[in-house]
Amino acid sequence: MMEKMSEENIEEVLETQIEQLQAEVEDLQQQQQDNHKDILFNFRGHMQDAMSYICGQKHGAEKEKVLSRLKEEVEEMEEDLKLQTRMNGISLKSCTTKTLKKSEQKLIQQLCVSGVCSDLVFQVEFLLSAVKKGEQLKKTISDLNVVIDASELQTFSSFLSGVEESRDLLLFFRTLRTFSDRCEDRRRTFQHFQEKYPSVVSLPAGSGSEVMTLNHPELPGCVLILHWSVEVCREGGVTPKMELLTKIPEKALKLFPSQAVGGAAEAFQSLLRVLGFEAAIEAVIMAVSLSPDT
């Protein structure tokens, strides 16, 4: 009798365990269905319609409706991109991503971004690491390399080295925009004076260069050189700097007191502090030309 009761108890225990396992299976199936619904729900709006269209679940007029919505979205994104480009002055040309390592806890990607800011063409390469710790996702940048194609980057090189060491991409793009704006200010100013005083002002290397020369119409060989540089410190500060240099033949130097000629640079710096860049340039031009162009 005892043996029979034991067998019956064993059967009951097994049946109970089987029922529990079946309940767990049902719970897992329900959880899987809920996850599937969540995934589908994430494809909201027009993108979900697009996926349905690709899978052949929409026909006739619905296809045209989906395509029309997608076209509108693409046009809106293009307009938004144009607006962002006008606002920040930076136009991105390409962005490539290569996955180097991928796991549940860590993702490492190599990114290469190229674009243009005014006339400055740049390329930025770096590694982006995303590490998941619990519910937190930490992203870090490493191996940053910045290349800029420009003719005048002597003062910019120190800043680029600092950016690569600190891996501060925000500082790079902010400084790049400010630097290009100051260079554009110089270009417009040089071009303005060259067009206004063509017989006095010349731009040997074009309006985008650092140098503008002033020639007296009646004193050939006597040249005043304005050197306008844009300096960038390691911390990202952008500072325009202008100097006045003189080029006068020895015969002409004998006609002027040496102190007056030597003090031209200092006098110009005083003009800059009082009048500012454009007004100081105009004052020098008016002093050089006895009969300015009209």
CA angle, 269 then 275 then 276, to 5°: 75
46-55, 225-234, 256-265: which is most confident: 225-234
User: Averaged over 107-121, what is the pLDDT?
Assistant: 86
pLDDT tens digits for range 247-274: 765 655 555 554 455 567 788 888 888 8
Q: CA-to-CA distance for 58 and 119, rounded, in angstroms? A: 48
Quick: pLDDT tens for 160-184.
888 889 888 888 888 988 888 898 8
Q: Are 128 and 139 in contact (CB under 8 A)?
A: yes
CA pair distance 246, 261, nearest whole angstrom? 8
Domain extents in the chain: 2-42, 90-179, 180-288
Residues 6+ apart with CB under 8 A from 290: 216, 217, 218
Give the pLDDT of residue 156.
Answer: 78
Mean residue pLDDT across the chain: 75
Return the axis-axis angle of helices 45-54 and 61-88, rounded to nearest 10°: 130
Query: In the predicted model, is pLDDT for residue 219 greater than 90?
Result: no
- Higher per-residue confidence, 225 vs 7: 225
| pLDDT tens string 75-110 | 676 676 666 666 667 787 888 888 888 888 888 888
Higher pLDDT, 151 or 138: 138
pLDDT at 190: 93
What is d(CA 25, CA 31) in angstroms, rounded to the nearest whole number? 10
Residue 41 pLDDT exceeds 70: no
Most confident of 67-71, 218-222, 278-282: 278-282
pLDDT value of residue 125:
92
CB atoms inside a 10 Å sphere around CB 272: 18
Assign 3-class secondary structure to the chain: CHHHHHHHHHHHHHHHHHHHHHHHHHHHHHHHHHHHHHHHHHCCHHHHHHHHHHCCCCCCHHHHHHHHHHHHHHHHHHHHHHHHHHHHCEEEEEEEEEEEEECCCEEEEEEEEEEEECCEEEEEEEEEEEEEECCEEEEEEEEEEEEEECCCCCCHHHHHHHHHHHCCHHHHHHHHHHHHHHHHHHHHHHHHHHHHCCCCEECCCCCCCCEEEEECCCCCCCEEEEEEEEEECCCCCEEEEEEEEEECCHHHHCCCCHHHHHCHHHHHHHHHHHHCHHHHHHHHHHHHCCCCCC
Higher pLDDT, 133 or 290: 133
